[in-house]
Structure 1
Amino acid sequence: METNLKNNKNICLILLIGIPGCGKTYLTNFLVNHLSKNMFSSNSKYFSNLCVIPVSYDDYISYHTDSNVMSWKQRRTDVFIGVEEFILYFKGYKNSLNSKLYVNNNYCTDNKDNMFIIIDDNMYYKSMRYEYYKLARKYEISFCQIYLEASLDKALEYNKKRDGVSIVPEQIIIKMNELIEKPNTSNNSWEQHSLTIPAFINFDEYLVLNQLYNIILSALESPVKDVIITSYENYEESKRITNCNLVHQVDVKLRNIIGNYIKQVKHNNSQIRYIADCVNNKRVQLLKDLKSGIFTVPPNIISLLLSSSRSDEHNKCLNNYFLDILTNDIYCDK
């Protein structure tokens, strides 16, 4: 995909996250109403001359008739392809829309300057959300997430109030509640534009409304950029930046490991000061060797360190690797 898009129209992907029964569809309707009627802001260029495309996954799957997991995945893929088609059309890469999403929505996008696509799905795995982030990066559009945090009991209670065909089997809600991976802005830089709000609250309350407005506006003001290296000089600069970032990430990880290690041994060892000095000296020497090229980090460890998304298993792997280096044959001048 070329980086020079055909027009400068603004697109914002808004992902809703939460277990079934937490009120995502209600929030979708609320956002559609407020965005369409320009109730967020009349002064911002982003909130005028716009169209809003709500995409509800429940419209394309039935938890009662589509019991096959592969069927769910295929439906999700179809929805994803349809969303990308909307982006291509709005950006001027396609002359027509054929997606089922368009047939279901039939919203007019012509002559609009701004488009909001609201993805109403559970998005309980961060890998699901990351696919949409990559889509935003590919076309350099805006991306944000809104997580509706609900207790399992409340979600089950709300689910029972749905119409018969809309009721989600309880075992599915219970399973999703166990599996859901909440947005983590600390570990995942790509989730920086994320908002967590309690389910079943009044979205019209000023503070809540302001939070919703701010998270969408911040995403619009900072579209995801797809960085492409176009020259040898840029390539060398990119390598230098990556290396500096690697040293920084190693330092951060080592400090974290040392802190936890000292806490574990301090109750069992009278020589705690000596051990602390030793591991810190090894940290300093390790960083020097890394900068000079004497010490090299294995590619798989580099990949984990520079990853924008780390699982608990990945962090365990990093901790074991560096802790072994720090504590193996501890030495220092006494």
Structure 2
Amino acid sequence: MQDIAGEGCGEVNDGVILVMIGGLPACGKTSLCKKIQTYLEDIRMECKLFCYDEVLNEELEDGGFTSEKWKKSRNLIYKQTIKTINEFKCIVKSGWKIIILDDNFYYKSMRHEFVQICQEFTIAHIQIILKCNVETCIERDAKRSQPVGEDIIRSMNIRFEYGKSSFSDNIIYMEYDTDNFSEMDSISSKIIDLFPLAKPLQDLNKMKQEMKEESQRQNEQSFKKQLDDSLRKKTSHLIQHNLIKKEHAKKLSDLKKDILKSVSQCDDISYYEHLFDEKVKEFQ
């Protein structure tokens, strides 16, 4: 993934939370998202809602559905999400800054790409999946002005992948039953109650790389310490047993320093000891 986190103002704000709400068509996603958005706006919290269907419908105004338009609409929301995160991270005032994504998200891979964004930006992430009886969804969908269609809903129901899209401990994942629309107020309250519990995700790949580099650094330091001790003993032995003139002691010290500087990785220590011995012969 590209280094998208570096494009903002540089300020880190722990209040940014990316909330993903998914489920079958007509399960109540958009109604729930707008309830949450209205509540947050009423209490003057920053909130941005991205509805995939609305963006896709705008793309379809100049013609019928195509896979290219579908991909374009999803890519547009992806970019807008990144832009909004950068904007929210620059806001100084305290309080939540909530980004809500409203889509089916039936494959875990669809959800995981946003997990990666959260890791890149070190922001909190909540995944909400609404579970609704497929027959209820079909019935509701048929009453809409632009129905998705029974075949698509049944197909999506078969393919839907429930569960976390990542094993990150800090991802909050919840499922709610939305067969009964009267439960929407209760569900929205439960989701809002999750906000204080949300913790920023960490970029695991970056953490692993940093740990690897730190381990390499420590190993190199340990190796240099062992080599330094070994060369000190060799130097002392040469001087104490008159195997080299005392006026060459400074040269031995400089030689030891040069060899230690040349160590770039943890090679076999005997290699550097042999190198030291060969150089010493030039002084004898």
TM-score by length of 2: 0.63
User: Aligned partner of 2:177: which letter?
Assistant: P
| Correspondence 1:142 to 2:137 | no
Specify which of 13, 26, 39 is matched with residue 34 of structure 1: 39
- For the Cα contact (< 8 Å) 1:66–1:72, is it kept in 2? no
Specify which of 175, 192, 201 is matched with residue 196 of structure 1: 175
User: Aligned partner of 1:59: which letter?
Assistant: E
Deviation at 1:114, TM superposition (A): 2.9
Deviations 1:124-157, CA, capped at 9 Å, x for gaps: 0000100001001100011011110011100000
Q: SS at 1:60's partner residue?
A: helix
| Residue of structure 2 in register with 1:77 after alignment | 75
Deviation at 1:87, TM superposition (A): 1.1
Paired with 1:133 and 1:196, the residues of 2 have a C-alpha distance of 17
Deviation at 1:225, TM superposition (A): 1.5
- For the Cα contact (< 8 Å) 1:50–1:112, is it kept in 2? no
Specify which of 143, 167, 170 is matched with residue 161 of structure 1: 143
User: What fraction of aligned residue pairs are identical, expressed as a percent?
Assistant: 24
Deviation at 1:169, TM superposition (A): 2.4
Structure with higher helix content:
2
User: Aligned partner of 2:49: which letter?
Assistant: P
Q: Where does structure 1 lack aligned partners over 5 or more consecutive residues?
A: 39-48, 93-108, 240-334
- For the Cα contact (< 8 Å) 1:124–1:176, is it kept in 2? yes
Structure 1 residues 218 and 238: alpha-carbon distance in aligned structure 2, compared to 1, 3 A threshold: farther
| Correspondence 1:51 to 2:46 | yes
Q: SS at 1:54's partner residue?
A: strand
- For the Cα contact (< 8 Å) 1:184–1:191, is it kept in 2? no
Specify which of 225, 228, 231 is matched with residue 202 of structure 2: 225
Structure 1 residues 236 and 118: alpha-carbon distance in aligned structure 2, compared to 1, 3 A threshold: same
Paired with 1:78 and 1:10, the residues of 2 have a C-alpha distance of 24
Paired with 1:234 and 1:218, the residues of 2 have a C-alpha distance of 31
Specify which of 149, 156, 161 is matched with residue 176 of structure 1: 156
Deviation at 1:110, TM superposition (A): 8.3
Rg (Cα) greater in structure: 2
Deviations 1:296-327, CA, capped at 9 Å, x for gaps: xxxxxxxxxxxxxxxxxxxxxxxxxxxxxxxx
| Correspondence 1:20 to 2:25 | yes
User: Aligned partner of 2:197: which letter?
Assistant: S
Paired with 1:84 and 1:6, the residues of 2 have a C-alpha distance of 15
Paired with 1:197 and 1:130, the residues of 2 have a C-alpha distance of 20
Q: SS at 2:202's partner residue?
A: coil
1:280-291 map, 5 Å:
none
Deviations 1:245-280, CA, capped at 9 Å, x for gaps: xxxxxxxxxxxxxxxxxxxxxxxxxxxxxxxxxxxx
| Residue of structure 2 in register with 1:89 after alignment | 87
- For the Cα contact (< 8 Å) 1:133–1:190, is it kept in 2? no
Structure 1 residues 73 and 190: alpha-carbon distance in aligned structure 2, compared to 1, 3 A threshold: farther
RMSD of aligned C-alpha atoms?
3.1
